Amino acid sequence: MSWLWRDELRVLLTPRRVLLQCRARGARPRVVERRAIDVDGGNGFDWAAAVEAMAALLSARPRRAADVVVILSNHFVRYTLVPASDLLVTHDDEVRFAQQDFARVYGPAAERWQVSVSADGPGAPLLASGVATDLIDALRAALRAHDLRPRSLQPALMAAFNAARGALPAGAARLICSEPGMAVSALLAPGWRRIRSQRIADGTDLERIVQYERALDDAPLAPETVCVMPLLAESLPAALADGTALRILPALWAAPEVGATEQAA
């Protein structure tokens, strides 16, 4: 079967819930299946329970050849910035720098992470992401067990940034990727200038996040554009208490279309 005609299976892996969407490709691509499962006892940064729930979700569906895209909750990913430097000549140099920075912040555990570095224009810092190698191996094993072929693994922040590109202003902006229990805030000026992950209670924490980010700025952003992309659909305020408007972008994982069914495994 040509890869052009294989189904595309998208999986969102979070600590509390795993969601699946299958899109049939071909002459008329369409969503043919949606499923979701709650993670038993899932919370915080424990990925093992989420992978186990994903395996259960895959077992509940008919086996069918597909290429799989997995989007990882920001609970399961760490980020750092790699400065633009003439000393970092090759991609391997950039990865090594990121690995050393992760180890400095997170200790020996970071030595067992798979690190990816993504560029966003010449002269700008690079965004590096670190994911536990054990998590990646567990995901691949679960997919192989169901005759599925992994195509890509996307940290939620990168998926959100790629989806939001068209809505981001050409100048400076703040991008906040939020989900239950976690938010990642990035300063784009343009290109990656600062990134910070933090645990949150709910969407009402946006006020605190923006105020703290402002305190870290060298100078006030003028104009200030705050873009918020929730990982899942949720009710978010349209403005901060001081009147700053929030540009709420469509959720990265869209709700089912009218007439679609989301099945619980």
Q: Name the CATH code of domain 167-248 (choices 3.80.10.10, 3.40.50.300, 3.30.470.20, 3.30.420.40).
A: 3.30.420.40
CB-based contact 78:129 (threshold 8 Å):
yes
What value does the mean pLDDT take over residues 200-226?
88
Side chain identity, residue 100: Q
| Helix spans in 117-244 (H) | 133-145, 156-164, 206-216
* 201: pLDDT strictly greater than 90: no
Domain range summary for the chain, segments of one domain joined by +: 167-248
pTM here is: 0.89
User: 131-165, pLDDT tens digit by residue?
Assistant: 999 999 999 999 999 989 899 999 999 999 999 98
**How does residue 120 score in pLDDT terms, banded at 50, 70 and 90?**
low
Tell me the β-bridge partners of 192.
188
Task: Tell me which DSSP letter residue 73 carries.
Answer: P
* Residue linked to tokens 């899109």: 23
